[in-house]
Amino acid sequence: MLVWPDGRIFGTVGGASLEHKVIGDAREALATRHGRLESYPLTTGGEPDSLGLCGGVVEVHIEILESPATLMIVGAGHVARPLARMAHELGMHLIVIDDRPEYASPQAFPEADSVALVGYDQATESLDPMPLDSVGADAYVVVATWGWDEPALAQILRLEPPPAYVGLVASPTKHRVIRERLAARGLSEAELDRLRSPSGLDLGAETPAEIALSILAEVLMVRRRASGNPLSLSRPAKAKAS
């Protein structure tokens, strides 16, 4: 049986109260992005958690089926290339954008599903509309341009529904300045708070490849709704019984 987040289904696990409970648990699993194995008692003794009078227990494996996430890289510089390669390994749908023809080319990014050339006017700080039609709620956007982060973010942060992730590769000072300029453009606090900057997890990254790794680690953390903590802390090994 397939279950959508809004409760629509295709197929059945038998109907009645059992199916109603499975649908609820499946929707909860979709919200948390964690599959699980559930047991549903069908006892005959009138227990409060029983779902029927057939006797026995029904076990249902709830698995999350995900379509490939979209990663849009805005700015095809040094970090973008290792970021594209790693995202391709993760099976992400990849879009790369730049205003320089020699950078925004399929030859430079053979892993990309789409490479878009946009127009940027440095004198007026204007940017031709970017290809944002494919940026939905399950899209992840990383902005790292040579100088047009602000006009790009002005469009991206206003998208509805908002992308799952919007990251800016920048120092804390640059982030503060860009945030102030975006506020002057009329973006709301809620829109500004969608921006994660500096983009990535704290891995001590220095090289472009290391920075790309830290960014994708944060993207995966957001996608899986994980903590980002070391596994040795979140899943400590159990001591053997003596």
- pLDDT of the residue at 54: 66
- DSSP secondary structure, 8-48, as one string: -EES-SS-HHHHHHHHHHHHHHHHHT--EEEEEE--SS--T
- pLDDT of the residue at 98: 96
Query: Do 106 and 199 have their domain in common?
Result: yes
* Structure tokens that stand for 125 in this block: 């700080």
Query: Do 108 and 40 have their domain in common?
Result: no
What pTM does this model have? 0.81
- pLDDT of the residue at 239: 64
Query: Do 20 and 97 have their domain in common?
Result: no
Query: Do 192 and 85 have their domain in common?
Result: yes
d(CA 34, CA 56): 26
Q: Based on C-alpha coordinates, what's the Rg of the chain?
A: 23
The verdict on residue 126 lying in a domain is yes
Query: Do 9 and 58 have their domain in common?
Result: yes
- pLDDT per residue rounded down to tens, the chain (242 residues): 999 988 999 999 887 788 888 999 999 998 888 889 998 887 765 555 556 566 788 899 999 988 889 999 999 999 999 999 999 999 999 999 999 999 999 999 999 999 999 999 888 888 888 888 888 888 999 999 999 999 999 999 999 999 999 999 999 999 999 999 999 999 999 999 999 999 999 999 999 999 999 999 999 999 988 899 998 887 776 666 65
* Structure tokens that stand for 215 in this block: 């960014």
The verdict on residue 236 lying in a domain is no
The verdict on residue 232 lying in a domain is no
Bridge partners (DSSP) of residue 236 are: none
Looking up residue 201, the CATH number of its domain turns out to be 3.40.50.720
Query: Do 194 and 95 have their domain in common?
Result: yes
Give whole-number Cα distances, 24 to 4, 53, 108, 144, 165, in Å: 11, 21, 46, 41, 27
- pLDDT of the residue at 133: 87
The verdict on residue 237 lying in a domain is no
Query: Do 86 and 206 have their domain in common?
Result: yes
The answer to whether the beta carbons of residues 161 and 137 sit under 8 Å apart is yes
d(CA 129, CA 184): 20
d(CA 205, CA 83): 13
d(CA 148, CA 166): 15
Query: Do 36 and 88 have their domain in common?
Result: no
* Structure tokens that stand for 214 in this block: 């830290």
Q: In total, how many domains does the chain have?
A: 2
Q: Estimate the share of the chain in helix, then strand, then coil, as percent rounded to the nearest 5.
A: 30, 20, 50
- pLDDT of the residue at 78: 94
The verdict on residue 104 lying in a domain is yes
Q: Residue 54 sits in which domain range?
A: 2-62
* Structure tokens that stand for 71 in this block: 């990663």
Query: Do 116 and 193 have their domain in common?
Result: yes
Query: Do 97 and 33 have their domain in common?
Result: no
Query: Do 46 and 134 have their domain in common?
Result: no
The verdict on residue 209 lying in a domain is yes
Domain-ending residue, one of 62, 84, 100? 62
Query: Do 173 and 205 have their domain in common?
Result: yes
- pLDDT of the residue at 241: 61
